[in-house]
Structure 1
Amino acid sequence: MNTIKKWHLFLLAFTTLLMTQSANIVEAESLTNQDEVKSFVDTHMEKDLDKYHIPGAVIAIVKDDEILYSKGYGMADISKDKKVDADKSMFRIASTTKLFTWTAVMQLVEAGKIDLDTDINTYLTSFKVPNTFDKPITMRDLMTHTAGFEEGGVGYQITTDTKRLNTTIAETLEKHALARVRPPGEKASYSNYGAALAGLIVEDVSGLSYTDYIQENIFNTLDMKHATLAEPLPKKYKDNEVIGYNYTNEKFTPGIPTYEGGFSPAGAGTVSANDMAKFMLAHLNNGTTQGKRLLDKKTTNTMHQTAFRFDKRLPGSALGFQEGEINGKKTLSHAGADTMFITDLYLVPEENIGIFLSYSGGQADDALASMKKHIFDYLFPITKKESPTFIPSTKEELANFTGSYKFTRRNYSHIDKFFSLLVEMKVAQENGQLVIGQGNEKEYFKKIDTNLFQQVDGQQKISFKTDKSGKATDMLLSIMPDMPLEKTTFWDQSSVWLILLAISIAIFIIVTIILLIQLKRNKKISHHSKQTIWLTIITAIISILTLGLTVTNVLNMDVLQRLSEVTLALKLFLFLPLFVGGLTCILLVRNGMDWFKKESSLVIRILTTTVFLAALTTSLFFIHWNLMGWLFG
């Protein structure tokens, strides 16, 4: 769920899977020996718990219409010496909750109450989504994350205060409405807001609260007795609660619980592994497991089919699931992460296998990536490497794809935009290959088809889209089908602003020193010139301090603080850029008068004007990245 941790999880998964080689695959015959499965999973899980300092973890593997293996590891509650139990211990599953939301939507589609391709405003009763573009947003757009919303969340995405939970989904979405920044159905951009909007439609169409609908139509239907969306965890489940922990100074300390509030359809689930196993079994068996029907066969198949693709040669998005390919097997998956918990759910439909993993702290992202790789290598081992046929590329051809790219999942309207400043992927070329990464982390890709490149020593691919003139505009990594990137415009490139700010800071420092020397040595400087000099020096010093204090304060906010509240300190620091802007305007007037009346020497006029230009650059930086004022969502 949490944005920063989710990026880490995706990028870590990308790095891990880049090491997997192309192969011919054998069937998962080892699943017939449950003792062997138990021994394999126990060995690796126990090693990972120790290596990555994991307080508690759980796994469930299903095959055909039964739970093949499930087990809890470590502690659910260290203070009570309570161990994790796969049947009863309830983990926060964060964004994996969205699968319940999407399944609920498909139940209503099956009942004829929702049409996937009808304007969602048809179903919304409490408020309407603005008609920013001619094309309306449909439920299909929400389910494939192609509705075109910007990203948001600073100060309101989660909360640690239970008093703030007394708000409805409708109130939350209307209060924190996100701008529509691109036409629907055009590009994917993973959206918590879109998922919460789908949950609101479930309420408006069904007449039940979102929580009650999921409880009655999914949890009760599948006999999921240790599953809830209620926040905080109800008293009847407290004995089954898994505590999330931070690992610091070689010891575990309980983390601060977080809640989704009005964004509950995007991540409020708390569920046991065995109950998630029941949910996986229903999806793997045409909507029905052990005689309990979640969806009918046709609806289930529709939900699992590709609904949107950046490139037909790469995995895309099903209705709510992310498509993928690991060790040659097609997968449907959904991950989830908050400040402590990390979860992943994988379905392998052709083998009728499902895998659920969840961790409660420590280096959980590393542990999950490690265990996932172990499991897929064990179930679907690589037996033979195959080398793709690479097509030679010229420097001129590769130059079209090089440059900086930013994820479509970013903000444009609020302070959230600043957090995308340094989130950038650079593509370079080297010896007829495209290169991503630096130093020892470089990964090389060669052309295998038009606008399609494959990793030289692996199976991952990169696809590009081009405009009518043939220039590359968008890029997709095959490991992240719902996370495309756009070629960055000049003014959105981090390197441009970092260079400009470095030059500005150098000017502030150098000119300040020169002007102070001038004041000390030249006693004949006029009173007017002294005023201009001191205004220039003050502007330079305030600009440096503002850059340092504001940027440092914003970047040093931990994820929990950033997404749960707007602190007084943040509000105060965001006053400083306004002060810099004011000083810049005053300096502009002063310099203009000096150049017009020539009341100061040419040297002083040049020096003060140089500082004005640096201050103007600094102010434009604050304006461009939404740090000028209090632009909260």
Structure 2
Amino acid sequence: MLAVPLVFLGMNVFMGHEAEAAATPAVPAALSASQLEQSIDPIMQEELEKRHVPGSAVVVTQGDRIIFSKGYGYADVEQSIPVDPAKTIMRLGSITKTVTAVSAMQLVEQGKLTLHDDLNTFLHAYQLPSFGKQPITLHHLLTHTAGLDESIYKIQAHSREKSLSAEQYLRQYFRQQPPVREPGQEYEYSNAGLGLVGNLIEQTAGTDLGAYMFQNVFTPLKMPSASLTVPESSPDMAKSYVYSNKKYTAVSSTYPHIPGAGALSVIPDEFAHFMIALLNQGVYQGTALLKPDSVEMMQQSQFAEHPKVDGVGYGLYRGHLADGSTVLTHTGEIEGFAAKMELIPSQKLGILIVSNGEEGGITYNKVTDAVAGLLTKKTEAVTPLPYSLEDLQQYERTYTFAKVPQHGWGKWLYFLGGRNYKVTAAEGKLVVSGVFPDGSGETAEKSFVPIADGLFQEQEGGMQLLIDKQHHWKMTIIQETTFSPEPGFWKRPSTLLIVYIVPGLLFLALLAVTLIRYVVRLFRKPRRTVSLHITAISLLMSVFLLLQLTYSNGSITFGYPAWYAWGVSSLPLVAVLFALHLLWRNASQAVKGKVVALTRCFVAIACIGYTGFMYYWNMLSIHFS
């Protein structure tokens, strides 16, 4: 068992090269390192021990310099190497998307890209399929409103050598998974969308995305450790861990095929330079990363589900503090690493927290809330609308969501269910129970009061709900995802899972019975005939189902080799051929009421129907959608 005692590194308050930049105007409510340490240390001490997170780094910037930088715990548990935010390389996951957005805005400034023209104008290696008449634009991708299907299949590789280029992956992705909704209509977080932005940059600039960022982002910002890969050979690269059975197990690194969506590795103190630039009109130490107008455009609301919500910018999520000040955030999680970046433009304050444990995501909100709490004490009063209980009862429903593809491999993951939220009316509020996107994974109950028609604000928090009566009673957790009313019985994940499992168990049982009959037949005279067709059907279906359950789900993000995609996944289709022949041979006897013939026809029809079910859910080598 690996035990991880909590280690506090000495705090680094940078007053050296950071102070070389030109002085910035005095910032109201300036924070001191000691203030931050007093607020952050107790949280980190409690959270790392409670959540079994091996290590974390916290970096805070204000104005044009780092004012707080501290490591907690271990970057490498086995070697007892502590986290050092000035040295340790950590993975930031989807915070990469903000860097990708900045890179795209650079090309927009240069006139090489535009925000609102059809992307097919700029793509040369392949063309995007469309949904309806509205073309997909860069604006849609940067706001997660392009209407793209969920990207799960073959999205990453076990090693750098086996990884695909973004162009190879996206060409395959769009061939198999066309868009699923009209662009610009609905927010839905999309890895494929920002991955496409990364490849758009590659096709426009004529270079690899990592090389582009190195030259145009990392070098100007003095971020030499930053890269879109995992420098596993570096002694400074942190390991990530899962905690189970009272011990830590290191997580193997993976390599995304679309690095623009989440592949950034960097030293936390170096990433602070990126935050400083975004908080200072695109400038770091006299070097302009972007023009002020472009930075302002990134930070403004570019899409909002409702006029009264903060909305999303380009590569940034908007919110506000208790005093109404705008706050900009992005989070990231990848293979055990969890990170959050928070920017408060009015204070020129930036916060980065990154951890190497799977439950680090619960901790980062507590840290950013504590730092923001040092800046404002004013409580923003929520003025609810005077809705009666009867007014609120119209919203009572169970809403459900499963973030799975609608096309291609993985459609069947819908069976495994998603999140369900039960909405109940109470006096002056809605009570919502479910697993909320706070990282805890636990069912909770929250109260929401109406603040506009269909818009509800959490009573003791910042979460907002939008329930759209005009569009089939869809419920949206703002800046998260959209839910639909729970479907009827036959379309529910739990029902479909039963429909999938029960016939599968029957085929397994049929195979067992058939094999037993073969064994008995060896010792019994006269020997009774065992149907070759039923033996073949039960064997083919059983082999497929066993491999589907034991191999398919766990390997889907890495893609399937040909032996599975075209071999194993075709076994039910071969079984159907045996079933059709069995029907043809026994139909006439079945019509006459012969029991054996009826039994064989039942098995054949079950095989055909079950294979049709699996075809619809894209489990076979040929797909319905």
TM-score, normalised relative to structure 2 = 0.79
The question of 1:49 aligning with 2:86 is answered no
Partner residue, 1:5: none
Q: Could you tell me how far 1:153 is from its partner in structure 2?
A: 3.2
Structure 1 residues 187-196 or 617-626, which shifts more? 617-626
Partner residue, 2:292: 297
Q: How does 1:166-565 map to 2 (within 5 A)?
A: 167-177=164-174, 178-229=177-228, 231-233=229-231, 238-260=234-256, 262-325=257-320, 327=322, 330-377=326-373, 379-380=375-376, 388-394=384-390, 398=393, 402-406=397-401, 409-432=403-426, 433=430, 435-437=432-434, 441-445=444-448, 447-455=450-458, 458-467=461-470, 471-472=472-473, 474-478=474-478, 481-487=479-485, 492-501=491-500, 547=545, 550-551=548-549, 553-555=551-553, 557=554, 561-565=555-559
Distance 1:581 1:434 in 2: 50
Deviations 1:265-310 (A, max 9, x none): 2222111111221111111122123322111111111111111122
* Structure 2 residue matching 1:256: 3-state secondary structure: coil
Partner residue, 1:157: 155
Q: Could you tell me how far 1:406 is from its partner in structure 2?
A: 2.4
Indicate if the aligned counterparts of 1:55 and 1:362 stay in contact, CA closer than 8 A: no
Partner residue, 1:86: 85
Distance 2:454 2:601 in 1: 48
Partner residue, 2:439: none
Distance 1:587 1:455 in 2: 61
Structure richer in helix, relative to its length: 1
Distance 1:632 1:499 in 2: 21
Q: Could you tell me how far 1:89 is from its partner in structure 2?
A: 1.7
Partner residue, 1:116: 115
Q: Could you tell me how far 1:48 is from its partner in structure 2?
A: 2.1
Structure 1 residues 358-367 or 298-307, which shifts more? 358-367
Structure 1 residues 308-317 or 276-285, which shifts more? 308-317
Deviations 1:111-130 (A, max 9, x none): 22211011112222222223
Indicate if the aligned counterparts of 1:451 and 1:464 stay in contact, CA closer than 8 A: yes
Instruction: Letter of the 2:313 partner, please give it.
Output: A
Instruction: Letter of the 1:281 partner, please give it.
Output: I
* Structure 2 residue matching 1:218: 3-state secondary structure: helix
Indicate if the aligned counterparts of 1:393 and 1:447 stay in contact, CA closer than 8 A: no
Q: Could you tell me how far 1:100 is from its partner in structure 2?
A: 1.3
Distance 2:552 2:290 in 1: 46
Q: What residue ranges of structure 1 are gaps of 5+ in the alignment?
A: 1-27, 517-526
Instruction: Letter of the 1:275 partner, please give it.
Output: E
Indicate if the aligned counterparts of 1:497 and 1:621 stay in contact, CA closer than 8 A: no
Structure 1 residues 313-322 or 328-337, which shifts more? 328-337
Q: How big is the alpha-carbon RMSD for the aligned residues of Structure 1 and Structure 2? A: 4.1
Distance 1:436 1:246 in 2: 28
Q: What residue ranges of structure 2 are gaps of 5+ in the alignment?
A: 1-26, 436-441, 516-525
Change (3 A) 1:458 1:126: closer
The question of 1:629 aligning with 2:625 is answered no
* Structure 2 residue matching 1:496: 3-state secondary structure: helix
Change (3 A) 1:599 1:249: closer
Distance 2:564 2:421 in 1: 34
The question of 1:619 aligning with 2:619 is answered no
Distance 1:186 1:384 in 2: 30
* Structure 2 residue matching 1:421: 3-state secondary structure: helix
Instruction: Letter of the 1:44 partner, please give it.
Output: I
Structure 1 residues 604-613 or 364-373, which shifts more? 604-613
Distance 1:536 1:457 in 2: 61
Change (3 A) 1:551 1:88: same
Change (3 A) 1:249 1:278: same
Change (3 A) 1:49 1:391: same
Indicate if the aligned counterparts of 2:92 and 2:262 stay in contact, CA closer than 8 A: yes
Distance 1:512 1:171 in 2: 42
Q: Could you tell me how far 1:102 is from its partner in structure 2?
A: 0.6
Instruction: Letter of the 1:346 partner, please give it.
Output: E
Indicate if the aligned counterparts of 1:287 and 1:295 stay in contact, CA closer than 8 A: yes
Q: Could you tell me how far 1:420 is from its partner in structure 2?
A: 3.2
* Structure 1 residue matching 2:213: 3-state secondary structure: helix
* Structure 2 residue matching 1:345: 3-state secondary structure: strand
Change (3 A) 1:548 1:267: same
Distance 1:258 1:146 in 2: 27
Instruction: Letter of the 1:242 partner, please give it.
Output: A
Change (3 A) 1:186 1:157: same
Change (3 A) 1:295 1:44: same
Partner residue, 1:519: none
Deviations 1:161-186 (A, max 9, x none): 23224x54323322343422222212
Q: Which structure has the higher relative contact order (CA within 8 Å, separation 6+)? A: 1
Instruction: Letter of the 1:228 partner, please give it.
Output: S
Identity of aligned residues (%): 25
Structure 1 residues 507-516 or 187-196, which shifts more? 507-516
Distance 1:392 1:510 in 2: 56
Change (3 A) 1:584 1:389: farther
Change (3 A) 1:444 1:501: farther
Distance 2:151 2:237 in 1: 30
Distance 1:390 1:591 in 2: 70
Change (3 A) 1:245 1:442: closer
Distance 2:152 2:317 in 1: 22
Aligned length: 577
